[in-house]
Each structure stands twice: as C-alpha cells, then as structure tokens.
Amino acid sequence: MRKNFKLNTLTILLLTCHSLINAQERSLERSLLEIDVQRAGENTDTEKLTSECLKLIQEFNSPEEMGKIYTEIAVIYSQNGMKDPDKTVEYCEKALKYPIDLETACQMYVFWGDALQFKYWNLRGEEFTFARQQILQSCLKGLKIIWDNKIPKERQRLTAVNIIDFDGPLNDPFYKELLEKHKQEIEVRKKIDLQNKLIQHRDALIEKCAFLYSNTSNDLIELRQLSERILQNSNAVDELIDSVKVKIKQIKE
C-alpha cells in the first residue's frame, strides 16, 4: 500500500512537471507572438523588439527555446526592408545553431541569402564573385535540407480535416474510431502543409541561385562545384543546375 502511494505520488509529480513544461512552452510561444505582432515592416522598432526577445532568454534557455527566440529576431530583421542585413545574418546564423524545425531552418537560409544578396548587390567583378559564393552557400545549405527530405516536385493538393459532432459517451468505441480517423486526417494535412512550405522555400532558393547568374555569361561551373560539395548528391546537383537554367531563361524572357 505504501509502495502504491509512493508510485501514485511519483506519477502525480511527473504529470505536474509535464504540464508545467507544457505551460512554459505555451508561454514562450505566446510571448514571442506578442512580440511578433508588433512588427511593422520598415517601421518596426527593431532594437526594442530584439531586446524584448533577448530578455526571454533569462527565462527560456533550453536549446529549443533559444532556437525559437533567435528565429523570431531573425524574422524581425528580415522583414524590416533590409535596413540591417548584418543583423539578419547574425540571427539567422544563431538560430541555425540550435535545434529548430525543418521548415524554420529552411526559412532561415532564405532570409540569410536575402541579407547577403542585399549587402553585396552593388559589388562587381571579383568582389561580386566572392560575395556570390557566400550567398550560394546559404542557398545550398537550405536546399540540402529540402533535398534530403525528398519532397515532391509540385505543390500538393490540400486535404480536409473534417468536423465531428457525436452526442454519445466519450468512451463509445465508435467515437474512438472517429477520433482516430480525425487524428490521421490532421497528420496528413500537416504533412502536406509542410511539403508545400518546403516547396515554396526551394523555389525561392533556386530563384536566388538563378538571379546570381542571370546577369553574367558564367556557365554555372562555379555553381556545380559548390553544390557538389554542399549537396553531396549528384542527382540533386543535376536537378538544381537544370532548374537554375530554366529559371535564368525565364528571367531573361
């Protein structure tokens, strides 16, 4: 009996800790959203919002939480009309050092590439060639994540998540069956939403690569060499080069 009591106490303690962790997780999400809604593009008070984000580190400092906080700061800087590309690069880089989800990681590489592109757009000659390699590296690292996850070529059609109104007891076997089906629908939809987001990032990164070569007579040797080194997948390299060629053609038209 005493043993059972101890076990029950332990279970309650564990459950309490679990809910506290969840509450804290929600609280960070909420705090970041409260900061995020203050973004106003070029009119954003980036210093104030950055400082508010950084303050959260005192309370939320697990690797996952740090990743979320730096991601938000990177978003703030990336959305302010590229007034401070160095800060965008800094915080994208910081966010990527922490465990962030797949989609966010790709987004960080897109913004990183944006910032470098803005920073170096007026360089010419050898300086531009050097800068282009830096921009390409951020693009290719993002593309590697996408290729490694084998997403479809085209955006996927969305699937629905249906609604349930069952007026019987919650332990009814049929209701449980409905809930299981509903759970599967949610999972399928989440997967499609993620794939479509990654496709959007992939297209943005490829377009960035194409833009870098659209105004030169460069034959993409440099792009091939870099992508062989970063993507480490010959099929992916061929596919990328082909996509970039198509994009360049589209841009020139």
Binding site for other proteins (CB under 8 A): 29-30, 33-34, 36-37, 39-43, 75, 78-82, 107, 110-111, 113-114, 117-118, 121-122, 158-169, 172, 174-175, 177-178, 182, 186, 189, 200-201, 204, 207-208, 211, 214-215, 250-253
- Dihedral sign of CA atoms 33, 34, 36, 40 in order: positive
The least distance separating other proteins from the CB of residue 95, rounded to whole angstroms, comes to 15
Distance CA 244, CA 126 (A): 22
The least distance separating other proteins from the CB of residue 143, rounded to whole angstroms, comes to 13
Residue 220: what are its φ and ψ, rounded to 5°? 70, 15
The least distance separating other proteins from the CB of residue 129, rounded to whole angstroms, comes to 13
Distance CA 219, CA 148 (A): 26
The least distance separating other proteins from the CB of residue 31, rounded to whole angstroms, comes to 11
Please give the structure tokens belonging to residue 140: 């290719």
Between residues 80 and 137, which has the closer beta carbon with respect to other proteins?
A: 80
The least distance separating other proteins from the CB of residue 210, rounded to whole angstroms, comes to 10
Is 240:209 a contact under the CB 8 Å cutoff? yes
Please give the structure tokens belonging to residue 166: 């069952």
What count of residues does the chain have?
253
- Residue 13: burial class (beta carbons within 10 Å; 0-12, 13-18, 19+): exposed
Between residues 160 and 221, which has the closer beta carbon with respect to other proteins?
A: 160
Please give the structure tokens belonging to residue 179: 């809930």
The least distance separating other proteins from the CB of residue 219, rounded to whole angstroms, comes to 17
Cα Rg for the chain, rounded, in angstroms? 23
Between residues 197 and 224, which has the closer beta carbon with respect to other proteins?
A: 197
